[in-house]
Amino acid sequence: MIKITDLEKFYRTEEVETIALNKLSIEVKTGEFVAIMGPSGCGKSTLLNIIGLLDDPDGGSYIFNDTEVAHFNERKRADLRKHNIGFVFQSFNLIDELTVFENVELPLIYTGVAAADRVKRVEEVLDKMQIMHRRNHYPQQLSGGQQQRVAIARAVVNKPKLILADEPTGNLDSSNGNEVMELLTDLNEQGTTIVMVTHSEHDARYSHRIIRLLDGHTVMENIMI
């Protein structure tokens, strides 16, 4: 599903040029559950953003579902993104002014799903994530674990083929964290490809394979059994 070769990404500020990704090559197959690990600042989030078509690389090739997307413009990326990819963030990134229901509904609105259909599908995922009873609450009224479940609900409501999660348990205690990992595992078992950045070896053990990034270049892979 994802084939990245010699990917490069630089950040230029006034004083320094940071090489966030240096000729990186990785591959992710459809249906895989991959964890990305590595020290802080090694480029994990950068990589995830590029995979998620939020950012464009400065060099190299990125083939997503047999299509070269490295040179895609913003509009094409956004189009591809909203139909295929769901995101889960460490800090949940729910919109404070919208209720749980409305937050989850948002991707459906942007992909143009009809209103009646939307209600059905949002209720379906909220049910699955067991937060149906909180549908009219605002994010501030929920615990961290509940908020992350809403975020996951929002990520999957469009039935994406790929879910990208950047430290999804980073802001959660261990029992809430485990709950989230179970959810992701379930989703993966139902066929969704998952790429997850994490600092926790414990969480990484839920995945099939760990990609270890060192300095935006060196890659080591562990295959989980």
Partner 1 sequence: MNHGLNEVIMIRNYIKSAYRSLKKNTGFTAINIMGLALGLAACLLIVFYVIDELSYDRYNEKAGRIYRVNEDLKLGENKLQYAVCMAPLAQTLKNDFPEVENAVRLKKAGSIHIKKGTEKIREDYIGFADPSVFDVFTLPVLFGDVKTALVEPNSIVLTESMAKKYFGKTDVVGESLLFDDRETMKVTGVIKDIPQQSHFRFDFLVSMSSLADSRSPEWLRSEYNTYVLFRKGADPKKLEAAFPQLLRKYSGGQMQSELKKSYDEFEKGGSYFRLNLIPLTDIHLHSKMIGELSAAGTVEYIYILSGIALFILIIACINFMNLSTARSSNRAREVGVRKVLGSARKNLIAQFLTESILVTFAATLIAMAIVVLVLPGFNVLAGKELSISLQSLKWIVPMLLMVALVVGALAGSYPAFFLSAFQPVSVLKGSLSAGFKSSRLRSFLVVFQFSISIFLIIGTLVVYQQLNYIQTKNLGYNRNQVLVINNSFEIGNGDKVKLLKQQIAALPGIENATMSGYLPTSQWRNMGIYYKDAVPDQSRAIFPQVWRVDADYIKTLGMQLVQGRNFSKDMPTDTASLIINEAAAKFLGFKNPVNQTLYHSKDYQTHGEVSPYKIIGVVKDFHFNSMRETIAPMMMVLGEDWGRVSARVSTANINNTLDQVKKVWSGISPDIKIDYSFMDAEFDAIYRSEQQIGQIFIVFTSLAIIIACLGLFGLAAYAAEQRTKEIGIRKVLGASVSTIVNLLSKDFLKLVLLAILISSPIAWYSMHRWLQNYAYRINIGWWVFAAAGIAGIVVALLTISFQSIKAALANPVKSLRSE
Ligand X SMILES: Nc1ncnc2c1ncn2[C@@H]1O[C@H](COP(=O)(O)OP(=O)(O)OP(=O)(O)O)[C@@H](O)[C@H]1O
Using CB under 8 A as the binding rule, whether residue 91 contacts partner 1 is answered as yes
Q: Which stretch, 27-35, 82-90, 125-133, 184-192, contacts partner 1 (CB under 8 A)?
A: 82-90
Q: Can you tell me which of 6, 11, 95, 110 binds ligand X, judged by CB under 6 A?
A: 11
Concatenated DSSP letters for 72-103? --HHHHHHHHHHHEEEEETT----TTS-HHHH
Q: Tell me phi and psi for residue 22, to 5 degrees.
A: -125, 100
Using CB under 6 A as the binding rule, whether residue 42 contacts ligand X is answered as yes
Residue among 54 and 132 whose Cβ is closer to ligand X:
54
CA angle 9, 11, 15 (to 5 degrees): 150
Q: At what angle do helices 100-110 and 144-156 cross, to 10 degrees?
A: 20
Residue among 158 and 207 whose Cβ is closer to ligand X:
207
Using CB under 5 A as the binding rule, whether residue 198 contacts Mg ion is answered as no
Q: Can you tell me which of 4, 26, 34, 44 binds ligand X, judged by CB under 6 A?
A: 44
Q: What is the DSSP letter of 58?
A: S
Q: At what angle do helices 115-128 and 100-110 cross, to 10 degrees?
A: 130
Q: Can you tell me which of 4, 7, 21, 45 binds Mg ion, judged by CB under 5 A?
A: 45
Q: Which stretch, 31-39, 74-82, 114-122, 195-203, contacts partner 1 (CB under 8 A)?
A: 74-82
Three-state SS at 208: coil
Residue among 46 and 158 whose Cβ is closer to Mg ion:
46
Q: Can you tell me which of 38, 43, 57, 107 binds partner 1, judged by CB under 8 A?
A: 107
H helices within 166-225, ranges in order?
174-189, 201-204
Residue among 20 and 35 whose Cβ is closer to partner 1:
20
Concatenated DSSP letters for 121-181? HHHHHHHHTT-GGGTTS-GGGS-HHHHHHHHHHHHHTT--SEEEEESTTTTS-HHHHHHHH
Q: Which does 13 bind (CB under 5 to 8 A by kind): partner 1, Mg ion, ligand X, none?
A: ligand X
**C-alpha 126: how far from its chain's center?**
19
Determine contact, residues 169/199, Cβ cutoff 8 Å. no
Using CB under 6 A as the binding rule, whether residue 131 contacts ligand X is answered as no
- CB of residue 197 to partner 1, shortest distance in Å: 14
Using CB under 6 A as the binding rule, whether residue 110 contacts ligand X is answered as no
Task: Give residues in contact with ligand X (CB under 6 A).
Answer: 11, 13, 18, 20, 40-46
